[in-house]
Structure 1
Amino acid sequence: MIRYTPLRPRLAALVLTTLLFATPLAAAPLDPGGEMNALYWQGHSALGAGDWKLAQLRFADLERRLRQNEPSTVDAAVYWQAYALMRGGRDQEAAALVRRLRSEFPRSRWNRDAAMLLHGKGRPAAVDGEDSLTGMLQEPPAQAIPKLVGILNGSGAPRLKQRALFLLSQMDDAGALAQVAAVARGKDRALSERAVRMLAVANAGDELRQVYAAVPEPQRKLLVLKAMGVAGSYEDLAEVARHSTEPHLRAGALQALGVAGQSEVLAEVANSSVDAGTRIAAIQALGTANATRDLLALYPNVRGAPLLRQEVLKSLLVASNEGVVMKLYHQATSADEQRAVQRVLLDAGYDPNRPRR
């Protein structure tokens, strides 16, 4: 019988995968105070702890904030509320949220997940031959793996191949993981991207390193870099950030490190890189990592470099509250610096000269 790895230890990786792959690499939503980002993380942390009520409350708070600031992205918060309610046994309330999701966002990518949520709490119905795949769950890996690989290499429907790939990714077997990595290196772009995500959730750092070396296309390499951040392959990301000859790959590695909260390498690159674009990417990633201390330590070194100074100030707004940047405004050592800090604050909606109530 196939042994499957427990899902709960993978939940943290799955959450990080959602964050990394939900938006383009350099297109994180503007959230100067970090409140929406914090609510998202708190909601998923509660899911990981099995605190369904707290998770639903956090995602409800997130929905309210998004409706004020980014109404086009509310659908994700509605879905995760429904998920938390369903897991908490509040099926009718979950169903009502799913109906609201469909009504308000008929084209949302979350609608399919929501439908699956209502059907067996996340388990989709078997279609297009999936019943035969279900039977493989009872077979030893030595028998099941060749059959699943045969489906992947055959002419079956894409949905069937996706299901076969998922089953391989869930098997507690090195041979199955090697087959997932082979798909990740393959020419089928859709399956390859799914396989990369699965390797990320499986913390398959060695396999991802091989995939990164094998795929030639820049966009596929960027996807693998994101996956490395989820899998905890920080040394591999640091190597790319420090030594890659491709600026976009250095930037991709830096942002993946930022999402993962790995500020040490980011601070090193921000201080030492001779390439201005790479330094800026590292500074932006420090903001993503909420690395206020590192950014404040960097600020005196860039005080006389207008472009770098501006990026540090903007990243400080992302990493902390406006009070930190307000303090720099009042501590400015020149009129030029004070004007520069003021511009950043005003652009973000804060007036340093407005009396506080």
Structure 2
Amino acid sequence: MKRMTKHFNEATAAAVLVASTIFLIGTTSQAQRAYKLDQDIAKLNRFVQSGKSNPASAQLLREGRDLIESQHWQQAAEKFNELIKGFPKDRDLDAALYWYGYALQKQNLKDEAKAPLLRLINHFPNSSWRREAEALLVFLGEQNAVKIGKERDDCEIKILALQSLFQADEERAIAIVTESLKTPAASQCQGFPAAALSILGSRSGPRVVPILLEVARSNSDLKLRLTAIKRLGDQHNEQVTDELIKIYDADRTKEVRIQIIRALVESRTPRGSAKVLEIARTSDDPAMRQIAIRYLGDLKDPASLDELIRIFDTDKTPQVRSQVLQALSERDDPRARQK
């Protein structure tokens, strides 16, 4: 029993790392953008509160700020444009240019958004809004900004540049990802290799899968391996599923095995589901059995429900039965509730 508890505790710690990796893959870009907007609005608030602008232009800046915060993008763009045209020499013209471009891109007016941003960079090279304008231009795919962004040490801008490059020149983008994976992490901006791999893995095709498989099998960075495995599961491909099963059978690293179980479930392939069922029924690792049972609850199909009930009825191991009950509690089915 002590040995089983030890295995379970180790697997729980490994599952935490796996879950955090998955969470970061799925939410980092969205969270970074939301946090970045909050930072930019806070910066704009400081500009508004400084009270050093012309009273009339300051009023337009405040009104534009309020419209940005309430996400009224068209009205915000009109307000900042009014400031730009009415007060062409205002001390906060650079801020107005940035937010005008921002409000335009939120309306999907990408070409129109580039003009005020480029004007800001060209006319106000020392502006405190220059970095934000450069990042937004990279996000919009402005090619000169993308080229400069790839050469910058700023990780956020480099990631945005890589995303844009995938749209314009996929071969070049894949080459950059491949080179990043070969370069020591210490010589790159923090987080770039994992972000680059995740961007690559969000795509599909004959060039993508072999790179992901190579990383998943043998990369020395565990987080990169977990990222690759997650993205392989997203391919929803039986041949990829077979490769993941081979890695699971050959590799005893707990974090890797947990990530593969989850990837097999999320692949929604028959062979992936069958492997997870096999692990839940017969694995010689009690902790992996419990992990597989937990993820079986996510399949939401009759076969997995039948298997969970069968395991509960035949297995008397307290930890296993407890995990089955937890998985059954998440199923909206009368047979599950009977347990």
State the match for 1:210 in structure 2.
179
State the match for 1:235 in structure 2.
210
CA RMSD of aligned residues (A): 4.4
Task: Tell me the secondary structure at the aligned position of residue 220 of structure 2.
Answer: coil
State the match for 1:197 in structure 2.
163
**Is structure 2 residue 293 aligned with structure 1 residue 313?**
yes
Distance 2:20 2:104 in 1: 25
Amino acid in the other structure paired with 1:296: A
Gaps of 5+ in 2: 1-18, 27-65, 77-98
Residue range with higher mean Cα deviation, 121-130 or 221-230: 121-130
Check whether the contact 2:277–2:296 (CA below 8 A) recurs between aligned residues: no
Match of 1:130 among 118, 139, 163: 118
Check whether the contact 2:198–2:231 (CA below 8 A) recurs between aligned residues: yes
**Is structure 2 residue 135 aligned with structure 1 residue 162?**
yes
Distance 2:219 2:25 in 1: 27
Distance change (3 Å), C-alpha of 1:349 and 1:120:
closer
Distance change (3 Å), C-alpha of 1:187 and 1:225:
same
Q: Deviations over 1:37-88 (max 9, x none)?
A: xxxxxxxxxxxxxxxxxxxxxxxxxxxxxxxxxxxxxxxxxxxxxxxxxxxx
Residue 128 of structure 1: how far off its partner (Å)? 4.1
Amino acid in the other structure paired with 1:183: G
**Is structure 2 residue 273 aligned with structure 1 residue 277?**
no
Distance 1:29 1:252 in 2: 7
Q: Deviations over 1:256-293 (max 9, x none)?
A: 22233354232222232121211111111222222353
State the match for 1:183 in structure 2.
149
Aligned residues with identical type, % of pairs = 16
Amino acid in the other structure paired with 2:194: L
State the match for 1:251 in structure 2.
226
Distance change (3 Å), C-alpha of 1:273 and 1:199:
farther
Amino acid in the other structure paired with 2:247: V
Distance 2:157 2:25 in 1: 28
**Is structure 2 residue 305 aligned with structure 1 residue 326?**
yes
Amino acid in the other structure paired with 1:309: R
Q: Deviations over 1:232-257 (max 9, x none)?
A: 32211111110012222211111122
Question: What's the TM-score, normalizing by structure 2?
Answer: 0.54
Check whether the contact 1:201–1:231 (CA below 8 A) recurs between aligned residues: no
Task: Tell me the secondary structure at the aligned position of residue 236 of structure 2.
Answer: coil
Distance 1:281 1:218 in 2: 23
Amino acid in the other structure paired with 2:134: K
Check whether the contact 1:128–1:160 (CA below 8 A) recurs between aligned residues: no
Task: Tell me the secondary structure at the aligned position of residue 202 of structure 2.
Answer: helix
Distance 1:237 1:181 in 2: 25
Check whether the contact 1:258–1:286 (CA below 8 A) recurs between aligned residues: yes
